[in-house]
Every structure is written in structure tokens, then in C-alpha cells.
Structure 1
């Protein structure tokens, strides 16, 4: 008669499964998911543009909302045995102290991370509809999840060491305050903060930034956990993750702002077939149809003027901008989900870019030139402005604008051609009033 054997899960699987199912862990995971999804929904118009904006939103929300919540819950979990009065009983158990500590901390470490990762999955799937170019920054998502886990682990140890019922909200406040404080430092140290944001949507992180950030936060938490929970003879093992964390921190600080670098493929220009041509970066290429339509009136006027800009360019890459280009920046301010919401302001901003000369040294009468350039910009694409209060003096460019409007078409075209030629060559003294 043959015997049948039944496969049993490993010994460590049963206690871990039990810990994950009970207590506050699942509730914290659901709370983290709800808080992050709500924050993402409220700011959807700001980040539904591209992968870098989504990564910045997830990083900010995860570290400002998810991390304090995880730290507070972990701190409360850390004091569980003390509240139950079972510390002495557990100390006599055969299970090693480090293993008991990890099992007790697992729910409040893994569940918030799961809530963050599920939020990231939802946001990235939605971004796929709107991103013009590139792919998700998976290494940064993993680094943020690791940072949340590390902060939760430190919060758990605070709960073990601080016998005070108000410790959880205090720990949450410290996490909420310290990370932005580090991130706002005007030095490379700011990049040690998991919540540090970058600026440009056509940048991408260097390949090692995400892994180095993971080593920095995870190594620090692992060193503290080993120093607290490992056996006395084995506490020297804490030096290994501490050394790894220090090495990663030095690498990040020495690189500084270089952890984000321009991506030439993302910053490359995509242009329409108009005259002047409207060009946007590949990261904003889905905005090009609305941008061209919003600038149709401006380009129609520029088309007939000699020496006028030949392209209206959305780019901060100097190698892509020529002297005859009209730079326009900040498309995110005028577009929501790749559709323009402020066409008049966008056209007025482009007109200012078209009429503003490059940096010219030795300008003798800068106020006069500014009045002329604003008058030309107002004629090309008026800036939406409220009516000035009664009794307030009109802006200085108003007289030049009225003269420009009153000029015959042929004379105005000739004057504008002279103006653009003088502005481009930095010979502003040649520009006379209209």
C-alpha cells in the first residue's frame, strides 16, 4: 500500500502569511492606495502629459502621503507586543529575534508598498494614452517603493524603542517634514531625498540612479534593523549594508543634478508644414496640432513680414534653437492632456518670443526698446488683459501700438521688417518709432 505525501509550505511561509492577513497591514495598504489615487486624481491635469511628469507625481505623492502613513502604522505595529504585555513571553521563544522582528514588521512594510505599486500601475496605464514619446521610468518606481519600505521599517523600530502612544503621529510628522527639507536644499545633498523632483520633461535619469537610490535607502534601513535585532555576535553584519548605503549616497551627491540628463531623442523637434513652422519637442508632439491651430493667426501675420522668425520653437536645447527662431516655452501651462485650454495666452507668449531680441550687450535705451517690442507683440497676438482701473496710466507701449495699427499695410510691413532685422542683429539703435 503506497503512501501519499502532501506538499507543505515552508515553515517561514505560514507565519508570514498569517502576519500579512491579520492586524492593521491590509487596512494600511488600502488606505495608502486610496490616498494616493485621490491625490493623483486631483492633480491629473498636471501629470497626464508624459512619463517624467507621471514619475514626479508618483514620487511626490508616495513620499509626502504614502511614506508618513506607512511610518505611523509601522510605529504603531512596533509597539504591539508592549501593549499586549507579551514581550517577555516572546523573548523566550525559540525563534530568533531578527526573524520575529521581520515577521512583525512585514505587514506594515509590504502592504503600503503594494498600495503604492498598484497606484503606479494605474497611473502609468492612464499615462500611456497621453505620453508622446518614451517609456515609464521603472527604476524610479522601484526606488520609490524601496524608500517607502525603508521608512516604514525605521518607523517600526521607533515603535519598538519609544514607549509612547503619541509616537506614531510624531513619526509621521517627522517623515512629512524631513524629506521635503532635504529635497529643498540648494546643494547636491538634496538628491538623497527620495522625493526630490527634477524640471524638464525631455530629461531622463541616468541608468544607475534608481538602483543607487534603492541601495541608499534600503541599506540604511537594513543596517539599523540588523543593529537592533541581530544577535550580539552578528551585529557586525550591519556594517555591510551601511557601507553600501554610504557608497550609493556618495555617488548620488557627487553627481548632483547630473542624475537627470537631457535625452536628445526626446528633445528633438517635430514641426508642422506651415510658414513659419511651429515646432515642439518630441516629448510634446501630441500637442502640435492644437499648437499650430492656436498660432495660425500669428503665423499668418509673420509670413508676410521680411526678416521675421522662420520657426516658432518649443525647446530649451540651445543646439536646436537658431537665431532666426522664436522660442516659446511652458507648453504645460497652456495645455491639459495634450489639448490647449488657453490659446490666446499661448499665442501671446509666442508673440513675445518672436519679438524679443537675443541678449544684446550695450543697449542704450532699454525701456524704449521694450516698449517697441511689446507693441509689436500686441499687434501680432494681443495678450488677454483686464481693463486698467480708471485713472491709471496706460502702459508705455500703448502709443506705439496705436501708431502701428494706424499705419498703412505696406508701410507697416516695411517697418516690421526693419524692426526684426535690427533686433536679430542687435542693432537696436536703428529701430525708430512707428
Structure 2
């Protein structure tokens, strides 16, 4: 084993995993990246740069598998009394073992980074780490087998490019714009995934189980192909991967809404009176609780006024309209700017906007009329128009701003009870996501 560690690409492959994984993650990480707040999110974020690491590791493994052919000792080793599977098994253990250890160290380093940064650490990262380790280790075994069976100068570059293209294609297949979108199950047979900018989600149990089964079967097939000498044995070697693929495809989900779920550890609610936040954001609870009680007191003038404030921990919050309820003011935590970065005054206005009901526009879209409704309702409870952190486009446009001020004057020209009735009506329309133009017309006294 010591000899194989010295003369094989094992240590180099491990170094590639650590260096490439860390470097690519640093390149795709922004200053305000949310994965730094949750260990599970950190491991999920690693699935994006793993596409490059995966391709490089496979390329090195294929190159290593061609060693006997390059040295022209294949016939010599075949003639020795020592079983071939022992020698090749030592090589496979060395390379795959080092890669597995390096992958585990990379994952552990990310968890340590989260812990040292004051983030939330839980056992939720373990299935994600296991999947990454199995994916890279099994790919090494398959790469060694390919290099041994196809010792051609083009095998290494073709394997590297093919792996990267497979990873890219799978990642693109998982990029959807609605929770109910159908996805190809085959895309989940790769370790690559482009996670949303969230610190509250993780992969579902079915995804974890399916990937673990698949990569385990793939690793067994890779090892059997590596040590097989006859055509019949090579054909039999494909059985574990075939069975694993069937089992995995039977478990893996077909809808994107079943791929991501709320992290059961980080998403658990922690409450201070009527205000509840997720555990990963519990540090902000004292500030939000103080603001929340003030907001609920102001909203108490409404009929069927809300009595609770809860963080929206929905896994599909990045693809669907914000959650809403008549008795609860849901605090959005996945949009920009982050509510945790707002001042208490800005946070209060955001919660009052829409009379405690979020907008109906889908994420990454805007509706100027809905923005006007939110500005008007926030202004009603605030006693005057002011900028909303989430509606800076409407507020900053001179044309749209003029429309907001005109609608504000129309609303304030009504008797006090009429103003309250109109705000209450607008709130009920936002609860059912009715047409934003009609909602605005109610407030603007048209």
C-alpha cells in the first residue's frame, strides 16, 4: 500500500480534490453567500463546483489505470502467481481511499468554516457528505477500469471531457422555474446540483438514498471491471451498477418539489411570544420579536387581524410566490435584501407592507402596481409614505413615484373609516392574489 501511495496518482488525486474543490467554491461564493450560516447548506453548495472536481478525478483515475499498458508489463503480471485482483485491489484502495479521505476533509473543512463563523451546525450535513465521498470514490474505480480496458492516448481527455459534459448537462436539467416542473431522474445520478441561495433547504431523503445506492453499485461495478480478465466476467461486472440504477431510479423523485425539502434541523421554529424564526436565524429573534409585537399592534385595527409572525421556511420559496395566511404574517427570508440586514425601522415597514401580506409576484420578477400597493399600505400604518427596501425600483422611478403619490393623496382624502376599509379590502385581495391593478384601484379610490 505504501508503494502504491508513492508511485500512483493517489496523493495527486487527493490534492486535486482539496485544491480544486476549495478554489472553485471560492470563485462561485459571493460576499453575502448564505451557505456560510448552515453546515447543511455549505455541503449543498459544494455540489456546484464538484462538477469540475469530478471530471479531474476521473481523468486522473483513467490515466492511472493505463499504467500497466504504458509500462508494457501487462503480460508479465498476468504470468505471476500472485492473483491480479490483489495487486489491482491494492491500487484501487490506494487511489479511491485517498480521494475519499480528501473529499471527507473538504466537507469537514466547510463544516468547520461554518462553525468558526458562528453559523448553525447540525447532523443534516452527514448524508450530503456521504454522497460526495461515495460519488468521487466510485468514479475513481470506474476511471481505473476504463483506463485499464481502453489504454489509448485519447482515453484520458475523452473521459475528462465526457464527465464534465455529463455533469453540466445534469446540472442544467435540474434548473427549473417552477416547483412542479418535471425533471429527468437520470440527472440525479450525478453528484452535481446548482442549489438555491438559501440556508434553509437540503436534499430529500429519497434523493440521498437513491444517490447512495447508485454510487455504491457503480463503485462495485468499477472494481469488478478493473480486476476482471475474461469477457464473461466483465459482463457480469455490470450487474451491480444495473441493479443499483434500477433501484435508484425507482426511489428518485420526478418533480423538483420533491428534490429539495426544508432542513429539519435548521428550519425548526424558535419562538419568542407570537414571533417565530428558524433556528438558523435565531440570533435575530430578539430584534425581530420587538419589531413584530409593534407590527401586530398596528395591524390589530384590521378585521380578522393576524396574531402571529413566522418565518417562511418553505423549501420552494425561491420558485413560488411568498407564503401568506390570514392569521399569520409570514416573514420572507429568501429574497433580497435580507430581512436580517435591515434596520428595525425598515423591517417594521416591510412587515406592515400589504397590511401584513407579502406580494404575489413570483421571485426575480417585479410588478410596479403591486409595489405601489405595498408602499401605500405601509404608508397607511406608518402615517406617511416612505421607501421600502424591497421596492426601491418603484420608489426610485420619478414616473412611478408620481403615481404612488397621486394614489396616496386619493387614499388620504377619504374618511378615516373608509381608508381602513379600503386597506382591509386590499389585504383580502392580496391574500387570494387577485389582479394587482384591481387591488391598486381599491386603494386609489378609483
TM range, smaller chain = 0.7 to 0.9
Q: Which segment is superposed worse, 326-335 or 119-128?
A: 326-335
1:19 is matched with: 4
Which of 388, 397, 409 lines up with 2:404 in the alignment? Answer: 397
In 1, the alpha carbon distance for the partners of 2:359 and 2:111 equals: 40
In 1, the alpha carbon distance for the partners of 2:408 and 2:420 equals: 16
In 1, the alpha carbon distance for the partners of 2:190 and 2:227 equals: 26
1:204-353 alignment to 2 at 5 Å?
209-227=207-225, 229-232=227-230, 234-235=233-234, 237-238=236-237, 240-253=239-252, 258=258, 260-262=260-262, 267-273=267-273, 277-292=274-289, 299=295, 302=298, 305-307=301-303, 309-316=306-313, 322-331=325-334, 333-335=336-338, 340-343=340-343, 349-352=350-353
Partners of 1:70 and 1:152 within 8 A in 2: yes
Which of 109, 116, 129 lines up with 2:103 in the alignment? Answer: 116
SS in 1 for 2:47: helix
2:421 is matched with: 418
In 2, the alpha carbon distance for the partners of 1:46 and 1:263 equals: 14
2:56 is matched with: 69
Once the two structures are TM-superposed, the CA of residue 133 in structure 1 deviates from its matched residue by 7.1
In 2, the alpha carbon distance for the partners of 1:407 and 1:160 equals: 83
In 2, the alpha carbon distance for the partners of 1:260 and 1:357 equals: 23
Partners of 1:215 and 1:244 within 8 A in 2: no
1:44-59 alignment to 2 at 5 Å?
45-59=33-47
Partners of 2:253 and 2:259 within 8 A in 1: no
Once the two structures are TM-superposed, the CA of residue 245 in structure 1 deviates from its matched residue by 1.1
Once the two structures are TM-superposed, the CA of residue 120 in structure 1 deviates from its matched residue by 1.0
Partners of 2:35 and 2:41 within 8 A in 1: yes
C-alpha distance 21-302 of structure 1, shift in aligned 2 (>3 A)? farther
1:247-305 CA-partner distances (Å, limit 9, x unpaired): 432332357654654566754433445xxx54323343233345457x57983993575
Normalised TM-score (structure 1)? 0.74
2:21 is matched with: 36
C-alpha distance 28-158 of structure 1, shift in aligned 2 (>3 A)? same
Which of 193, 196, 200 lines up with 2:193 in the alignment? Answer: 196
C-alpha distance 358-397 of structure 1, shift in aligned 2 (>3 A)? closer
In 1, the alpha carbon distance for the partners of 2:63 and 2:234 equals: 25
Partners of 1:77 and 1:156 within 8 A in 2: yes
C-alpha distance 376-155 of structure 1, shift in aligned 2 (>3 A)? same
C-alpha distance 95-133 of structure 1, shift in aligned 2 (>3 A)? closer
2:80 is matched with: 93
Partners of 2:210 and 2:252 within 8 A in 1: no
CA RMSD of aligned residues (A): 4.1
Asked if 1:187 is matched to 2:184, the reply is yes
2:363 is matched with: none
In 1, the alpha carbon distance for the partners of 2:265 and 2:9 equals: 46
Q: How many residues get paired?
A: 399
Asked if 1:382 is matched to 2:367, the reply is no
C-alpha distance 81-235 of structure 1, shift in aligned 2 (>3 A)? closer
Partners of 1:50 and 1:201 within 8 A in 2: yes
In 2, the alpha carbon distance for the partners of 1:170 and 1:346 equals: 54
C-alpha distance 217-170 of structure 1, shift in aligned 2 (>3 A)? same
In 1, the alpha carbon distance for the partners of 2:425 and 2:404 equals: 18
C-alpha distance 18-201 of structure 1, shift in aligned 2 (>3 A)? same
In 1, the alpha carbon distance for the partners of 2:162 and 2:248 equals: 21
In 2, the alpha carbon distance for the partners of 1:254 and 1:369 equals: 35
In 2, the alpha carbon distance for the partners of 1:71 and 1:222 equals: 16
SS in 1 for 2:82: coil
In 2, the alpha carbon distance for the partners of 1:190 and 1:395 equals: 49
Larger gyration radius, structure 1 or structure 2: 1
In 2, the alpha carbon distance for the partners of 1:268 and 1:415 equals: 41
SS in 2 for 1:128: helix
In 1, the alpha carbon distance for the partners of 2:212 and 2:373 equals: 54
1:94-120 CA-partner distances (Å, limit 9, x unpaired): 333333333334443222222211111
In 2, the alpha carbon distance for the partners of 1:31 and 1:215 equals: 26
1:146-161 alignment to 2 at 5 Å?
146-161=134-149
In 2, the alpha carbon distance for the partners of 1:248 and 1:313 equals: 39
C-alpha distance 122-207 of structure 1, shift in aligned 2 (>3 A)? same
Partners of 1:324 and 1:424 within 8 A in 2: no
In 2, the alpha carbon distance for the partners of 1:84 and 1:17 equals: 20
1:305-353 CA-partner distances (Å, limit 9, x unpaired): 54454444322559x9641323232347445xxx943558766654445
